């Protein structure tokens, strides 16, 4: 029998790769993991975690406005971008260190360098003259931001990766895109006092989300001072002595200091040596896998964003666990992508789980019951703010199961985690209603919604 250096070699030390490597090493196997940048991957180093710190820093300005309504005053309150950046970077370094330490404690060998497949069992560590063999290989290299090269001047635009390290806070920013990253960063910069414009090519932001959520959020972020331009794209970006001029299809020319493109992410498969190992890509350029995350090569699996299934950190982690159970514990498991809750950390944020109204109308043959409420949160009572919360339940009319829950408003990411348990469990509207309210909270509205609403969002989701 062939002797390999390792039982498992993992390429990419992000959320999914690290979880799979640790579990497998703790199970007694010989495991190595390669990372070309910093341990922790997109989530920890240039995604969810630093983004959430930026959101929290940014939200303070709104909290101060609310506080003034309650009688507080903060004359001369100021935000220092360099102080924030330094504190954030210290914390990210600490978290990355914990990830690396945990790998060590589990007995995983950490290889600093870029691993490239030479064949189905061999990787080369670029520039290190090192070749490593493994019986099984797991690819967890994640994704990379993508910008449309067709826009003249696109080289002047940054992506989210640079947004985490801007040398100074711009006075004016324009963000292109209408997905998670675009709306999250628009909120961050607007909250930090940056004059912010969001431009999106479609009819409304957050395509794929419930239409009421999309309309509500677009209105709320405008109340927070973000200028939203819909149905429009760049024709070019021009660098001048005073800034960057965004030339748009509608004839507008908007000058800003920074232009950020948040136009999606693509699987990071470049120069990985996939062909040499017999690993095929699908039509969208992601690694082709079956439901057990196995690639077209018999001993190679892939998880997380590189497979472009559901690009969320907790999903990559679950895919890593399922891989470990299937491959090393003889317990075939595949992740269940139904009713995965997700949050958009816009300001206000969005929490959502299950089907949109549009999806439910297609899926539920007996029709759907829709319950919607919009109200001003108690917290804003003294501020004169006209911000509103949206809560929406989508119910399968026949079974009366709540198949979708959508919230726009403060703390909605926290609420949706718990609502997701009920949606995932398939509880009925009557069971939600039998749950006694917690008063006075916003979340109590979820168990006190009585009036069915005539359908409001029939447009394609
Ligand atoms: P998304 O896929 O969410 O959004 C990309 C946006 O860019 C869409 O609005 C899309 O428009 C637009 N777009 C695409 N191509 C072009 C183009 N050529 N010109 C103009 N606009 C274009 O990607 P993100 O980059 O926002 O995020 C990537 C993924 O990362 C998310 O899908 C999500 O899975 C994950 N993520 C999750 C977060 C969370 O959980 N909170 C936070 C951040 C990221 P259209 O809709 O018309 O296609």
Could you read off the pLDDT tens digit of each residue along the chain, which spans 461 residues?
A: 789 999 999 999 999 999 999 999 999 999 999 999 999 999 999 999 999 999 999 999 999 999 999 999 999 999 999 999 999 999 999 999 999 999 999 999 999 999 999 999 999 999 999 999 999 999 999 999 999 999 999 999 999 999 999 999 999 999 999 999 999 999 999 999 999 999 999 999 999 999 999 999 999 999 999 999 999 999 999 999 999 999 999 999 999 999 999 999 999 999 999 999 999 999 999 999 999 999 999 999 999 999 999 999 999 999 999 999 999 999 999 999 999 999 999 999 999 999 999 999 999 999 999 999 999 999 999 998 899 999 999 999 999 999 999 999 999 999 999 999 999 999 999 999 999 999 999 999 999 999 998 755 554 44
Residue (of 275, 327, 285) closest to 319 by Cα position? 327
**Strand 227-230 versus strand 350-354 pairing type:** unpaired
Whether residue 439 lies in the annotated active site: yes
| Phi, psi dihedrals of residue 93, rounded to the nearest 5° | -65, -40
With a 6 Å cutoff on the Cβ, whether 180 touches ligand 1 is yes
Q: How far apart are CA 460 and CA 446, in angstroms?
A: 25
Residue 213 known to bind ligand: no
Q: Is 265:305 a contact under the CB 8 Å cutoff?
A: yes
Catalytic-role residue among 156, 324, 358, 439: 439
Would you call the peptide bond into 187 cis, given omega within 30 degrees of 0 as the criterion? no
Residue 177 known to bind ligand: yes
**Strand 389-396 versus strand 368-375 pairing type:** antiparallel
**CA-nearest residue, atom 2 of ligand 1:** 264
Ligand 1 centroid to Cα of residue 91, in Å, is: 27
Instruction: Return the half-sphere exposure (C-beta side, CA atoms, 13 A cut-off) of residue 52.
Output: 11
Residue 181 known to bind ligand: yes
CA distances for 3 relative to 32, 53, 121, 141, 359, angstroms: 15, 46, 11, 26, 51
- Closest ligand 1 atom, CA of 180? 26
**Strand 265-267 versus strand 143-145 pairing type:** antiparallel
**CA-nearest residue, atom 38 of ligand 1:** 180
Cα angle 378, 384, 389; round to 5: 45
Core vs surface per residue 417-450: b (16+ CB within 10 A) or e: eebbebbeeebebeebeeeeeeeeebbebbbebe
| Phi, psi dihedrals of residue 235, rounded to the nearest 5° | -100, -30
Q: Is 282:195 a contact under the CB 8 Å cutoff?
A: no
With a 6 Å cutoff on the Cβ, whether 229 touches ligand 1 is no
Radius of gyration of the chain (CA): 24
pLDDT value for 460: 42
Task: Tell me the best of 15, 42, 147, 201 to mutate to test the pocket of ligand 1, counting ligand atoms within 8 Å of each CB and taking the most.
Answer: 201
Q: Which helix (H) or strand (E) holds 273?
A: none
Q: How far apart are CA 258 and CA 31, in angstroms?
A: 43
With a 6 Å cutoff on the Cβ, whether 181 touches ligand 1 is yes
Q: How far apart are CA 140 and CA 20, in angstroms?
A: 10
Name, in order, each residue with C-beta under 8 angstroms of 421's C-beta and a sequence gap of 6 or more. none
pLDDT value for 459: 43
Ligand 1 centroid to Cα of residue 180, in Å, is: 6
- Overall residue count recorded for the chain in this entry: 461
Domains of the chain: 6-145+266-328 (3.50.50.60), 154-263 (3.50.50.60), 342-447 (3.30.390.30)
- State the burial class of residue 4 (Cβ atoms within 10 Å of its Cβ: 0-12, 13-18, 19+): middle
């Amino acid at each position: 029998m062939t002797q390999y250096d390792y039982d498992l070699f993992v390429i990419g030390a992000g959320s999914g790769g690290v979880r799979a490597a640790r579990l497998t090493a703790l199970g007694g196997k010989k495991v190595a993991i390669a990372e070309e940048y910093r341990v922790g991957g997109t989530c920890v180093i240039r995604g969810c975690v630093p983004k959430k710190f930026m959101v929290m820093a940014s939200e303070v300005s709104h909290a101060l406005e609310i506080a003034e309504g309650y009688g507080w005053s903060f004359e001369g309150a100021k935000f220092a971008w360099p102080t924030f950046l330094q504190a954030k970077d210290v914390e990210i370094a600490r978290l990355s260190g914990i990830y690396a330490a945990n790998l060590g404690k589990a007995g995983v060998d950490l290889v600093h360098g870029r691993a490239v497949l030479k064949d189905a069992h061999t990787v080369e560590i670029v520039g290190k003259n090192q070749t490593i063999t493994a019986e099984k290989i797991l690819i967890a290299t994640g994704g990379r931001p993508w910008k449309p090269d067709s826009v003249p001047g696109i080289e002047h635009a940054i992506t989210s990766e640079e947004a985490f390290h801007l040398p100074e806070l711009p006075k004016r920013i324009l963000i292109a895109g209408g997905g998670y990253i675009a709306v999250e960063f628009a909120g961050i910069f607007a909250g930090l006092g940056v004059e912010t414009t969001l431009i999106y090519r479609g009819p409304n932001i957050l395509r794929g989300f419930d239409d009421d959520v999309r309309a509500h959020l677009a209105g709320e972020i405008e109340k927070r001072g973000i200028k939203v331009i819909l149905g429009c794209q760049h024709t070019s970006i021009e660098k001048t002595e005073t800034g960057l001029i965004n030339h748009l299809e509608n004839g507008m020319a908007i000058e800003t200091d920074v232009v950020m493109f948040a136009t999606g992410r693509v699987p990071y498969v470049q120069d990985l040596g996939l062909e040499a190992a017999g690993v095929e890509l699908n039509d969208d350029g992601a690694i082709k896998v079956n439901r057990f995350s196995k690639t077209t090569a018999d001993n190679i699996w892939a998880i997380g964003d590189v497979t472009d299934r559901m690009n969320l950190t907790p999903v990559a982690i679950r895919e890593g666990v399922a891989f470990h159970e299937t491959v090393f514990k003889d317990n075939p498991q595949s992740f269940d992508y139904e009713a995965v809750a997700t949050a958009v950390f816009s300001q206000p944020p969005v929490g959502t789980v299950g089907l949109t109204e549009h999806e439910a109308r297609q899926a539920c043959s007996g029709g759907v019951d829709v319950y919607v409420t919009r109200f001003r949160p108690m917290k804003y009572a003294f501020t004169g703010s006209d911000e509103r919360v949206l809560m929406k339940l989508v119910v399968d009319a026949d079974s009366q199961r709540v198949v979708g829950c959508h919230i726009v408003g403060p703390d909605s990411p926290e609420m949706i985690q718990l609502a997701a348990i009920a949606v995932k469990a398939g509880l009925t509207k009557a069971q939600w209603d039998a749950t006694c309210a917690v008063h006075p909270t916003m979340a109590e509205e979820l168990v006190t919604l009585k009036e069915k609403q005539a359908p409001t969002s029939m447009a394609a989701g």
